[in-house]
Amino acid sequence: MGKEVTAMNRYALRYCMGQSVRSLSRNAWLAIITSGLIAISLIILGGFLLVTTNVNQFIRNVESNVEVSVFLHDDVDSTELQGRIDELDGVVQQTFVSKEEGLQEFGQTMGDPSLLRDLEGENNPLPDLIRVRVEEPEKVAAVAETIQAYPEVELVDYGEELVARLMQITSRLNYLFLILGISIALGAVFLIINIIRLSAVARQEEVVVMKYMGASNGYIRFPFLMEGMVMGWTGTVIAVLTLGLIYYQLASSFGQDSLILLFQPVMDMERLLPIFIGLAIVGTLMSGFGSFVSIRKYLRV
């Protein structure tokens, strides 16, 4: 054969690409639905990852902003207690709030201090309070526990319930997202397998002839693999763009909203990029796997 086939790969590749395109256009609707399904499953999967990342950040914010509120028994000497609290590991700041100040603050949060006029003086139901700030979120629980043990202290509260509930809700949500994403992904893989099967059947005649002409297995299989990959990549691109756009919109509207101070959406590329790259890899793997299974099963060469 000599010189005539030196450019083999270029021509073979061109032929293979042509075949993939022809096959895809023959089953265009099915291909579009499959790409769509891949996109949806990836969007759900990606949504799950983005929500998780943001919730984790939120929890960290909540924890780091948590103050330990130490409610004191009536008529105890707080100065000595404050001295002890100062020595605890991790404590960076503490503020004493007398019951009078507490009532005033409460009134302000309610919007009209005059509402609480009746509760002033002897009638004040609030205890004295020390607000303790801890430098690292991990140390909050330990500090709270130690302070609770002091005799002057009636109650310690640091929002552990809020954190625990948040974690509970998100872990349930995570499961839901994960199961949904995986089911749809499986559906998409099944569709890919079937589309490739259809093309394999449609081109059976050609495949047999190719084999007799001495075409290599790779040469025969490559167009089918490409067909699956094209669907996969189309879906992946749609998913990444859609998800990116939705996320950007949501994140910027959240970011502007000063009411939700604690919730700052994750915007740094260092943490977002791996998610989107991961989605692209998953999409590629899905289509590659689907094509591979189908070729193995339906394309006997």
Partner 1 sequence: MIEMKNVSKLYEGSDEVALNNMSLHLDPGEFLFLVGPSGAGKSTLIKLLFREQLPTEGSIFFENKDVTKYKKRELLEHRRRIGMVFQDYKLIKQKTIFENVAFALEVLGYSPRSIRKRVPEALEKVGLAHKAKSFPRELSGGEQQRVGVARAIVKDPVLILADEPTGNLDRDNALQLMRLFEKINEEGTTVVIATHAWDLVDRMQKRVVSLTAGELTRDGQGGYSNE
What is the DSSP annotation of 19-73?
Answer: HHHHHHHHTHHHHHHHHHHHHHHHHHHHHHHHHHHHHHHHHHHHHHT-EEEEEEP
HSE-up (13 A, CA, CB side) for residue 119 = 16
The span from the first CA to the last CA of the chain, in angstroms, equals 24
Site for partner 1 in 208-247 (CB under 8 A): 208-210, 212-216, 219
What is the closest distance, in whole angstroms, from the C-beta atom of residue 217 to partner 1 in the complex?
A: 8
Does residue 301 touch partner 1 according to CB under 8 A?
A: no
Nearer to partner 1 by C-beta: 63 or 227?
227
Nearer to partner 1 by C-beta: 16 or 193?
16
CA-to-CA distance for 186 and 235, rounded, in angstroms? Answer: 14
Site for partner 1 in 89-108 (CB under 8 A): none
Nearer to partner 1 by C-beta: 19 or 287?
19
CA-to-CA distance for 213 and 207, rounded, in angstroms? Answer: 10
Nearer to partner 1 by C-beta: 218 or 255?
218
The site string for partner 1 over 118-157 (x = CB under 8 A, - otherwise) reads ----------------------------------------
Which of these segments, 8-16, 123-131, 250-258, 287-295, binds partner 1 (CB under 8 A)?
A: 8-16
Q: Cα 174 to chain center, whole Å?
A: 8
Does residue 8 touch partner 1 according to CB under 8 A?
A: yes
What is the closest distance, in whole angstroms, from the C-beta atom of residue 247 to partner 1 in the complex?
A: 46
Is the torsion defined by CA of 251, 253, 254, 255 positive or negative?
A: positive
Per DSSP, helices labelled H in the chain are: 8-26, 28-64, 78-87, 99-110, 137-148, 160-202, 204-213, 217-256, 269-298
Site for partner 1 in 176-205 (CB under 8 A): 205
Nearer to partner 1 by C-beta: 15 or 263?
15
Does residue 15 touch partner 1 according to CB under 8 A?
A: yes
Does residue 25 touch partner 1 according to CB under 8 A?
A: no
CA-to-CA distance for 88 and 96, rounded, in angstroms? Answer: 16
What is the closest distance, in whole angstroms, from the C-beta atom of residue 31 to partner 1 in the complex?
A: 20
CA-to-CA distance for 75 and 73, rounded, in angstroms? Answer: 6
Nearer to partner 1 by C-beta: 4 or 74?
4
3-state secondary structure of 161: helix
Q: How many residues bind to partner 1 according to rule CB under 8 A?
A: 20
What is the closest distance, in whole angstroms, from the C-beta atom of residue 178 to partner 1 in the complex?
A: 42
Interface contacts to partner 1, rule CB under 8 A: 1, 4-5, 7-9, 11-12, 15, 205-206, 208-210, 212-216, 219
